[in-house]
A and B are shown apart, each in its own frame.
Chain A
Amino acid sequence: MLNDFLSHLFPRVVLRRNLAFSYTFCLGGLAFGAFLLLLLSGMLLLFYYQAAPDKAYASILFLESSVWGGGYLRSLHRLCSHTLLVLLMLHTLRVVLTGAYQKPRHLNWVIGCLLMLLCVFEAYTGYLLPMDQLALWATQTGMELLAIFPCGPLLRGILVPDGIGQSMSLLRFYALHIMLVPLSVMGLSFLHFYRIRKNKGVLPYL
């Protein structure tokens, strides 16, 4: 299955001298791998998490103390999220340093920027869900930062209609985190991959 996926993504043949790992360090591919692991661990977490202010923290405690491998699953989800962001930043830096953002790849660069923004937003919406002190205050600070931006108060009002950690805001963060943002990331990722193939594959242009 992986072979089929890769064969659609990359050209049938490559120059022998272009097989150097140092062309891309596989950073984009590794980021997508971390995203898939993130999806898998997130789907398993859904079986236990309860998105209500009075139940969220208790459901995390239950997961940690009473579910076999529950704590490990949560750690894996968190680590994959951090790794994804780090890999995306490094991938972006690599693209800039190699000049791969230039035409004919300029549209894919814009898609990539959007993907990075969505992944940061995805990580941010996930931060609130455990409903511990760290989650509450990190989210609160994030909202205060958003409010400084032009149109920030409007966005804040949409995301948090009733205060950080209250039922409506927690539900909105939850819906965004488990459905809307991951689906958008997945869709844009495939568009990103399609554009790579359309723009003649991996580095340097084949």
Chain B
Amino acid sequence: MTRGYLKSSPYFFRIIKIAWVVSTICLLVSAALLPAPLQEPADLARVPNPVKSAWFLLWIQELVSHSKYLIYAVLVLAVGMVLLPWLPGQKKSDQATWLGKGHLGIAAAAMATFAAVLLLTVVARYFRGENWAFVLPF
């Protein structure tokens, strides 16, 4: 074996298998502790207040509750995300490294976007009451 190198099997694969087993056990146990909710049968005549979307879309709902034109911000974000490798202002590095100098600006923008999405989701999930008014959850 060349100096500094190890066979992927078993050294590398062992890490992957352990991660898989641990995560699977976590999911199997958590499912027993967190039962899936089931409300009353669907009825179009009974409209809940507030009406909330699925948790992974709540940030968009919160955003468009301020102005429907903010949907274009979501579109710009989506297009920008797909075109990320072609955006200007980055230097290509030979090796992928955490917070490398060549893509520090992109990394900062990504962190800010991620934090904003998280914040909007939390606000929509816990701080919105009747008629989408801001309420304190406690």
The residues of A with any CB-CB pair to B shorter than 8 Å are: 2-3, 6-7, 10-17, 19, 21, 26, 29-30, 33-34, 37, 57, 60-61, 64, 71-72, 74-80, 82-83, 85, 89, 93, 96-103, 105-106, 109-110, 113, 120, 123-124, 127, 130-142, 145, 148-150, 163-165, 203-205
Evaluate contact between A101 and B84: CB separation under 8 angstroms. yes
On chain B, the number of residues with a Cβ less than 8 Å from chain A's Cβ atoms is: 72
- Please state if B12 and A76 are interface contacts (CB–CB under 8 Å): no
> Is B57 interfacial (CB-CB < 8 Å)?
yes
Q: Is the CB of A205 within 8 A of B95?
A: yes
- Judge whether A113 and B81 touch: CB under 8 Å: yes
CB distance from B10 to the nearest CB of A (A): 9
- Find the B residue at minimum CB distance from A127: B54
Interface presence of B133 (CB below 8 A): no
B99 in the interface (beta carbon within 8 A): yes
Interface string of B100-120 (1 = CB under 8 A from A): 101100110011001000000
Which single member of A103, A134, A139 contacts B39 (CB below 8 Å)? Answer: A134
Instruction: Please state if B42 and A57 are interface contacts (CB–CB under 8 Å).
Output: yes
A85 to B75, CA, bound (A): 19
B19/A29 in contact, CB under 8 A: yes
Q: Indicate if the CB atoms of A133 and B48 lie closer than 8 Å.
A: yes
Are B30's CB and A79's CB within 8 A?
A: yes
Contacts of A100 in B (CB 8 A): 96
**Residue contact B30 to A98, C-beta cutoff 8 Å:** no
Alpha-carbon distance A137/B48, docked complex (angstroms): 8
The listed residue (B20, B81, B103) touching A102 by CB distance below 8 A is B103
Query: A99-B96, A102-B93, A123-B56 in contact; A15/B4 too (CB < 8 A)?
Result: yes
- List 22 contacting pairs A-B, 8 Å CB cutoff, sorted by A: A6-B13, A7-B13, A14-B12, A21-B15, A26-B16, A29-B16, A37-B24, A60-B38, A75-B34, A76-B27, A96-B110, A97-B107, A97-B110, A101-B85, A102-B93, A109-B85, A123-B56, A127-B54, A140-B51, A148-B71, A163-B44, A164-B44
Are B39 and A132 in contact (CB-based, < 8 A)?
yes
Q: Which residues of A contact B82 (CB under 8 A)?
A: 110, 113
- B31 at interface, CB cutoff 8 A: yes
Interface residues of B (CB under 8 A from A): 1-2, 4-9, 11-13, 15-17, 19-20, 23-24, 27-28, 30-32, 34-44, 46-48, 51-57, 60-61, 64, 68, 71, 75, 81-82, 84-86, 90, 92-100, 102-103, 106-107, 110-111, 114
Question: A135 to B44, alpha carbons, bound, how many Å?
Answer: 11
B92 near A6 (CB under 8 angstroms)?
Answer: no
In the assembled complex, the Cα of A77 lies from the Cα of B28 at a distance in Å of 10
A120:B56 contact, CB within 8 angstroms = yes
CB of B9 within 8 A of CB of A138, answer no
Which chain A residues border B40 with CB–CB below 8 Å? 132-133
Candidates B42, B71, B99; contact of A133 at CB < 8 Å: B42
CB pair B41–A96 under 8 Å, yes or no, is no
CA A184 to CA B20, docked complex, whole Å: 23
Q: Which residues of A contact B30 (CB under 8 A)?
A: 79
Q: Please name all residues of chain B whose beta carbon is closer than 8 Å to the beta carbon of A93 when the two chains form the complex.
A: 110-111, 114
B4 and A16 form a contact (CB under 8 A):
yes
Question: For A105, what are the chain B residues with a Cβ–Cβ distance below 8 Å?
Answer: 85
